[in-house]
Amino acid sequence: MLPPFCPYKSCVHHHDRKPCGRPWYRKRGWYTTVQGKRVQRFQCLSCRRSFSTRTFSIDYFTHKHLVYQRILTHLSSCSGIRDIARDMKVSPSTILNRISRLARQTIAVHHELSMQLKLGESLVADGFESYAVSQYFPNNIHLLAGKDSQFWYASDYAHLRRKKAMGEWQNSRNAVMQGCFSSGRVTVYVSFSRIMEAVERLQSSSGEHQVKLYTDTHPQYQRVIEDRDEKERFGVVHQRVCSRLTRSMHNPLFAVNYLDRQIRKDCAEHVRETVKYARNVSNSMERLAIYRFCHNYMKPYRVGQKRYVGVSHGMMAGIRKEAIEEQKRTVFSQRRFLSRTGGLSFSEALVWLRGIATPLKRYAEHLPAYAWQ
């Protein structure tokens, strides 16, 4: 394998898609891995830093290769972390490490493919409620989907407070728990504001003057839209739909209702009354990013209909099949760099950098240097 670019973001050859002209690197020996494999080393002639073929691998800084396709299949089939670890004969911490790597890959791929599509449908947004750490810390994960394609465009995390009826002891305990988690909260208003930024980006790329956005009657959604400036409000036609309507395909909110059902069915931590609930918010959102990739680009749009054989949700949204297949060939092997994945939304960057606060967690999330440099 020849290096496609210099991996150091300060180098002039880092952002070159296809560095051409005179040679920009030279071979500089090799080293032997623990498994006895020889790995070629290189040196950039511009910044004089060295790197190897492993620098461009998803397994950079690992000692054992795992089959990432199997991890994705497990995650989208309601398997827990320890289930996957037992099946692959490694520790749960190793599985969490590989999931983080795969999540960054899928975020980069989704961003690159989304930049290629031109919005040609209405949008639907709603909140998916679950919890992390404890039932005293429910959450609202906002989902933005295409009304016709059911393509999952974006998502964002909001912290909620427990709403269910509680006894006297539970009320006192809830007060203590909420007092221990006072900083780092994201409200529904802030979270939906980020979803609106995604809507506005899609509207500007569509070439249309306006795009329809369907939501339920949550008062914060209306407030967010009213607080946008006049130009941004003009580009979005907000349609409010009662959430108590029958959840059929004729319901304007069908796309997000369908996503809700799929997530409940396929993601272990979101199954009701489960013991596999999320212990860490960043880990949970990484797994959701992987599931979004599976839903958009690997699952069929419809099952049992011949005209949709081989058609994914991404293709229905307008992304070329060739572009999807090209990304799928490398997503499990070639490492994506944050510095070369320009234009990530704030919501996606938070997941990549593990920046969402986990209730009762004392310290910041660990983020390896290779994930952000």
Tokens of 367: 């983020």
What is the tens place of the pLDDT at every residue in 77-101?
A: 999 999 999 999 999 999 999 999 9
Whether 316 is in a domain gets the answer: yes
Candidate from 11-15, 149-153, 321-325 with smallest mean pLDDT: 11-15
- Judgement on whether residues 47 and 80 belong to the same structural domain of the protein: no
| Shared-domain flag, residues 140 and 183 | yes
Domain total in the chain: 2
- pLDDT mean over 320-325: 95
| Interatomic CA distance for residues 83 and 74, integer angstroms | 9
Query: Does residue 186 lie in a domain region?
Result: yes
What local confidence, expressed as pLDDT, does residue 184 receive?
84
Q: Note whether 286 and 338 are same-domain residues.
A: yes
Is residue 144 within 8 A of residue 155, CB to CB? The reply is yes
Same domain, yes or no: 74 and 26:
no
Residues 1 and 130 in one domain: no
**Domain containing 14: what range?**
1-56
Cα–Cα nearest to 6, from 59, 44, 41, 53: 44
Q: Examine residue 61 and state whether it is found in any structural domain, yes or no.
A: no
63 in any annotated domain: no
Cβ partners under 8 Å of residue 62, min gap 6: 97
Q: What is the pLDDT of residue 92?
A: 96
Reported pTM: 0.94
Residues 7 and 83 in one domain: no
- 148 and 262 together in one domain: yes
pLDDT classification of 18: cutoffs 50, 70, 90: low
> Are 195 and 244 part of one and the same domain?
yes
Q: What is the pLDDT of residues 119-146, one digit of tens each?
A: 989 999 999 999 999 999 999 999 999 9
CA distance 185 to 360: 12
**Domain for residue 290, yes or no?**
yes
Report the alpha-carbon distance of residue 308 to residue 300 in Å, rounded: 8
Model confidence band, residue 114 (pLDDT cutoffs 50, 70, 90): very high
**Residues 24 and 162 reside in one and the same domain:** no
Residue owning tokens 């994960």: 141
Query: Using CB atoms within 10 A of its CB, is residue 101 exposed (0-12), middle (13-18) or buried (19+)?
Result: buried
Shared domain check, 181 and 114: yes
d(CA 262, CA 32): 45
Q: Is residue 196 part of a domain?
A: yes
- pLDDT value at residue 20: 56
Q: Provide mean pLDDT across the span 341-347.
A: 90
62 falls within a domain? no
Same domain assignment for residues 288 and 226: yes
Q: Which of 12, 32, 56 is the last residue of a domain?
A: 56
Q: 200 and 345: one domain?
A: yes
Whether 146 maps to a domain, the answer reads yes
